[in-house]
A and B are shown apart, each in its own frame.
Chain A
Amino acid sequence: MQFNEPAGTNLFDSATIVGKDHTRIDGPLKVTGAAPYAYERHDVVEGQLYGYPVGATIGHGTITAMDTEAAKAAPGVRAVVTTLDIDPLELGMNNVARLFGGSEVMHYHQAIAVVVADSFEQARAAANLITVSYEEGEAVDYSLDAAFERMEGTGEPDTQYGDMEAAFSDGAVTIDQMYHTPGESHQMMEPFASIVDWSDGGDLTGWISNQMINWTHGSLATTLGINKERVRIESPYVGGGFGGKLWLRADTVLAALGSRAAGAPVKLALPRPMMMNNATHRSATVQRIRLAANPDGSLRGISHENVSYCLPGGRGENATAQTPLFYASEAMHVKNHLAEMPLPETADMRAPGEAAGLMALEIAMDEMAEALEMDPVAFRLANDTQVTPSNPDMPFSERHFAECLEQGAEAFGWDSSRPAPGSRREGDWLIGQGVAGAFRGALALPSGARAAIENGKLVIETDMTDIGTGSYTILAQTAAETMSLTMDDVEMRLGNSAYPVSSGSGGQFGAVSSSTGVYAACMALREKIAQQLGLEEATFADGQVGSGNERQSFLELDVEAVDSIQWGDFMGEFQKATFGAHFVEVGVNVYTGETRVRRMLAVCDAGRIINPVTARSQVIGGMVMGVGAALSEDMALDTGRGMFANHDLASYEVAVHADIPEQEVIFLDTLDDVASPLKAKGVGELGLCGVAAAVANAVYNATGIRLREYPLTLDLMLDQLPEV
């Protein structure tokens, strides 16, 4: 199916299932422990052995020797494979650091050996017997501030228009500040885990935990140097990803190599303390933002430069991603820099770019509102735009940012009189409110599915994954709606490389892309059904097909169709994005500076909401991650060793129950007929965008202390708290 023009009126406009609340169809399996995750597939193959990884303990350098004699002689050990035993493996799609092979250490905890044994305990004990000699690389300056100073003003701007010099002169109100965001780790609850059967070194089957089946299918073949046709992978249940499981990772490679060496299937999970430094993370950023505005609040100039770190060839964290698209401005200068550093790989984490960028930009907007003596909601409204700021000929397909702000202010009880910072106190707590805008692009990728009638059921097969996002449920809703069936008539099969290639789960593109792919397959199935029954002008309603008054059920047929959605060029004439506004109230302890979030509201403009239940969970989950980003998450870099020291869940502090207050979500349900036939866009990353800045702005409103460095810990505030 081609999507070549804006969706006109279609079946989703009179939907009875799509757009309605539906609890998760995979829910009963998940709450009873019956949904099998990757490491738990006792049922799929006999004779599984246990693998345990060994990670490098230097930041970068070369391995000169590895002694595996004791490990090989340890009880129960079946095989030991070290990185020195094999040539460097090819890099899979978007892998920057080598996953295994060769003597070069590119980052701390890079996988350098796998031990396979009869039991987990034996494998772990033997792994600890391997000794490694290194030649450490030269000392490195890990200062991102120094990198920013070096790189600021260099290179071709990514976006540049208007007269920046004029914008910042002649009576303009200006601000000019530096902002710091820390490295962040996905820390999904299910570790990277795989069972791989490559016992004979021929055909390979992997039961893995991965967001992107097709990408990883190809990467695994590339990395191991085998034909893709010989590889099959399954990932029906994924215990969270947040971008960390977009790519092939070391767990699958080590399990495969261990399996070939031991001649038996091998299961391997990365130990939690190895995840942070072995796998990918969101880079820290240093950002300088300069804003110039007219006294009426209209922006004259925006300058945003950012630096993040990455390994050579990496992507870092482009914190300027939203800036060219979010606010109107007469002139703009935007530049993203990458500083190469031998640190664990930086790559996509939920809302890559915007998450870190809005943490800074939305504080800057708050600061400018204050400089203008304007209400921050009104200031943002004054700079809303319906067209691309740098290209007025390119409109947004749909943009309802202003409604997000206005409805949010109303629902939240926003105090537009803005009492002076630090002036509201309840007991030991200083109370403040903060607001921030949210922006995240609306990507769509080609996505396919197979729809078939089998044994009286509508079966949908696609390699799409459900990483907690609700794919099982929303795809079943889409299929049931399109075929005029009930949810009980649909059987969903996901996450298998044997099924048609989908968009996969990432970048907020999963729901819109895969639901359209299922729609395409179901429309193809409708045609096949009509053909088989010899019907012309067939209509589908109430679980029956027919033309005129001749109606019949079609669930007795044996029929199938495969199709995919391809996105047309006309979409390039529009900017597609999602928008939101976050409102937060905090209390800051007047003695200790401890911040407690008291209530939160998100208003989202993200097209048709396919299932308000699962979409709301996505948004509140993003808000929770935003509270962590604001108040506690911080990958602590050991600048001597080039590693992150707080690499477990005791010391890398994500938000827990006690950190999360009352949360409210409002969906505008603004249909976007350029975005997809369902007029839907993604929402899973929007919920995170801007949250941390709303918290920071609320802390400022509560205390009068302006923090531009995350996390907003009490030590940054103690010496500035008001007298008590």
Chain B
Amino acid sequence: MPPPIEFQVRRRTLLAGSAAAAVSAGFTGKAGAQSGATPAGSETTTVSLTVNGEAREVTVDNRTTLLDALREHLQLTGTKKGCDHGQCGACTCSVNGNRVNSCLSLAVMHDGDEIETIEGIGTPEAMDPMQTAFVENDGFQCGYCTPGQIQSARSVIEEIRAGIPSHVTGDLTAEIAITDEEIRERMSGNICRCGAYSNILAAITQVAEESA
């Protein structure tokens, strides 16, 4: 089956409509402000999570994102806050086996969920193959987007092998090949301003080939 349109629509083209909303958010002094009225229910919630295989219980402000629960409450700062708006991918971590932007998800939505962060994948002394491949291929510079890139990279290989199509998948009935184009498309939610994309691609390809 041919794709519906032959040219590629880039990811941010779709997001352009959200620009106007972003302008008014946060800094008008009023937008988003809450009145002094007392909330109807409790302002905090205790959430049970399994984080990197370990049962954890955190009591969080209901407004706390999963990202801030990890970074500020559990002090797992490997998951990064780049934009806090789901635009950069630095906060990517795994929830019940799927990659998510943890800044776009409230902690209270994850009671009972299994979370895996970069700290759960490997340590400096015992790195995961993807972490090793990033070091070997210099798939980063400043390192700030890197945990998110690695989380996405691992998921991308799994998603392709699970037959989940992407925007650039040509034949939806055939087995999806792990091509440069598929990897680039699926990694495009993770921005690297240092521009290590070519090296990240090399790292992912290396792991995909080693684990084939």
Which B residues touch A592, using CB under 8 A?
Answer: 7
Q: In the complex, which of the residues A32, A271, A645 contacts B26, with contact meaning CB atoms closer than 8 Å?
A: A271
Q: How far is the CB of B192 from chain A (nearest CB, A)?
A: 7
- The range of chain B's interface size is 35 or more
Q: Flag if B82 contacts A189 (CB, 8 Å).
A: yes
A interface residues, tally (CB under 8 Å) = 91
Q: Flag if A649 contacts B191 (CB, 8 Å).
A: yes
Q: Flag if B72 contacts A120 (CB, 8 Å).
A: yes
Q: In the complex, which of the residues A28, A120, A242, A591 contacts B135, with contact meaning CB atoms closer than 8 Å?
A: A28
Of the stretches A284-292, A328-336, A654-662, A700-708, the one at the interface is A654-662
Q: Is B194 an interface residue (CB 8 A)?
A: yes
Q: Which of A13-57 contact B (CB under 8 A)?
A: 23-24, 26-37, 39-40, 42, 54-55, 57
Q: Flag if B88 contacts A189 (CB, 8 Å).
A: yes
Q: Is A4 an interface residue (CB 8 A)?
A: no
Q: Flag if B141 contacts A32 (CB, 8 Å).
A: no
Take A24-B135, A189-B90 as given contacts and tell me if A30 and B143 are in contact as well, using a CB distance cutoff of 8 Å: yes
Q: In the complex, which of the residues B19, B82, B131, B189 contacts A651, with contact meaning CB atoms closer than 8 Å?
A: B19
Take A274-B27, A468-B142 as given contacts and tell me if A650 and B22 are in contact as well, using a CB distance cutoff of 8 Å: yes
How many Å lie between the Cα of A269 and that of B81 in the bound state?
10
Q: In the complex, which of the residues B7, B32, B64, B87 contacts A648, with contact meaning CB atoms closer than 8 Å?
A: B87
Q: In the complex, which of the residues A33, A189, A470, A589 contacts B79, with contact meaning CB atoms closer than 8 Å?
A: A33
Closest to B19 in A: A651
Q: In the complex, which of the residues B29, B145, B196 contacts A54, with contact meaning CB atoms closer than 8 Å?
A: B29
Contact residues of B: prevailing secondary structure = loop
Q: Flag if B190 contacts A657 (CB, 8 Å).
A: yes
Q: Is B124 an interface residue (CB 8 A)?
A: yes
Q: Is A646 an interface residue (CB 8 A)?
A: yes
Q: Is B23 an interface residue (CB 8 A)?
A: yes
Q: In the complex, which of the residues A187, A658, A660 contacts B198, with contact meaning CB atoms closer than 8 Å?
A: A660
Which A residues touch B80, using CB under 8 A?
Answer: 37, 189-190, 239
Most chain A CB within a 10 A radius of its CB, from B6, B183, B198: B198
Q: In the complex, which of the residues B7, B19, B36 contacts A70, with contact meaning CB atoms closer than 8 Å?
A: B36
Which B residues touch A191, using CB under 8 A?
Answer: 81-82
Q: Flag if B123 contacts A647 (CB, 8 Å).
A: no
Which B residues touch A614, using CB under 8 A?
Answer: 138, 141
Q: Is B18 an interface residue (CB 8 A)?
A: yes
Q: How far is the CB of A625 from chain B (nearest CB, A)?
A: 6
Q: Flag if B193 contacts A657 (CB, 8 Å).
A: no
How many Å lie between the Cα of A470 and that of B138 in the bound state?
10
Which A residues touch B135, using CB under 8 A?
Answer: 23-24, 27-28, 31
Q: In the complex, which of the residues A131, A190, A273 contacts B29, with contact meaning CB atoms closer than 8 Å?
A: A131
Most chain B CB within a 10 A radius of its CB, from A30, A35, A238, A648: A30
How many Å lie between the Cα of A129 and that of B125 in the bound state?
47
Q: Which of A176-203 contact B (CB under 8 A)?
A: 186-191
Q: Is B199 an interface residue (CB 8 A)?
A: yes
Q: Which of A536-584 contact B (CB under 8 A)?
A: none
How many Å lie between the Cα of A495 and that of B72 in the bound state?
24
Which B residues touch A651, using CB under 8 A?
Answer: 12, 15-16, 18-19, 22
How many Å lie between the Cα of A189 and that of B43 in the bound state?
32
Which A residues touch B185, using CB under 8 A?
Answer: 657-658
Which B residues touch A29, using CB under 8 A?
Answer: 124, 143
Q: Flag if A272 contacts B190 (CB, 8 Å).
A: no
Q: Flag if A125 contacts B118 (CB, 8 Å).
A: no
Q: Is A618 an interface residue (CB 8 A)?
A: yes
Q: Is B101 an interface residue (CB 8 A)?
A: no
Q: In the complex, which of the residues A269, A613, A617 contacts B194, with contact meaning CB atoms closer than 8 Å?
A: A617
Q: Is B77 an interface residue (CB 8 A)?
A: yes
Q: Flag if B138 contacts A23 (CB, 8 Å).
A: yes
How many Å lie between the Cα of A650 and that of B20 in the bound state?
11
How many Å lie between the Cα of A187 and that of B205 in the bound state?
28
Q: Flag if B77 contacts A40 (CB, 8 Å).
A: yes
Which B residues touch A428, using CB under 8 A?
Answer: 6-7
Q: How far is the CB of B32 from chain A (nearest CB, A)?
A: 5
Take A189-B88, A237-B143 as given contacts and tell me if A132 and B198 are in contact as well, using a CB distance cutoff of 8 Å: no
Which B residues touch A647, using CB under 8 A?
Answer: 22-23
Closest to B87 in A: A649
Q: In the complex, which of the residues B75, B123, B124, B127 contacts A42, with contact meaning CB atoms closer than 8 Å?
A: B75
Closest to A655 in B: B195
Q: How far is the CB of A638 from chain B (nearest CB, A)?
A: 8
Closest to B187 in A: A657
Q: Which of B9-66 contact A (CB under 8 A)?
A: 10-12, 15-16, 18-20, 22-23, 25-34, 36, 43, 61, 63-64
Q: Is A666 an interface residue (CB 8 A)?
A: no
Q: Flag if B131 contacts A273 (CB, 8 Å).
A: no
Which A residues touch B124, using CB under 8 A?
Answer: 28-29, 32, 34
Take A33-B79, A42-B75, A648-B22 as given contacts and tell me if A189 and B10 are in contact as well, using a CB distance cutoff of 8 Å: no
Chain A positions 283 through 308: 1 when the CB is less than 8 Å from some CB of chain B, otherwise 0: 00000000000000000000000000
How many Å lie between the Cα of A237 and that of B200 in the bound state?
20
Q: Is B85 an interface residue (CB 8 A)?
A: yes
How many Å lie between the Cα of A120 and that of B67 in the bound state?
12
Q: Flag if A623 contacts B82 (CB, 8 Å).
A: no
Q: Is A663 an interface residue (CB 8 A)?
A: yes
Q: Is B160 an interface residue (CB 8 A)?
A: no
Q: In the complex, which of the residues A240, A272, A657 contacts B85, with contact meaning CB atoms closer than 8 Å?
A: A272
17 A-B pairs (CB sep. < 8 Å): A31-B150, A34-B123, A37-B144, A57-B28, A129-B33, A131-B30, A189-B144, A189-B193, A237-B143, A238-B142, A272-B85, A467-B142, A620-B198, A651-B15, A657-B201, A658-B184, A658-B185
Given contacts A132-B29, A614-B141, A660-B195, 19 further A-B contacts (CB under 8 A): A30-B146, A31-B134, A33-B76, A121-B64, A125-B33, A188-B144, A274-B27, A468-B140, A468-B194, A470-B141, A589-B7, A614-B138, A625-B193, A648-B85, A649-B191, A656-B187, A656-B197, A658-B188, A660-B197
Interface residues of B (CB under 8 A from A): 6-8, 10-12, 15-16, 18-20, 22-23, 25-34, 36, 43, 61, 63-64, 68, 71-72, 75-85, 87-88, 90, 117-119, 121-125, 127, 131, 134-136, 138, 140-147, 150, 183-185, 187-201
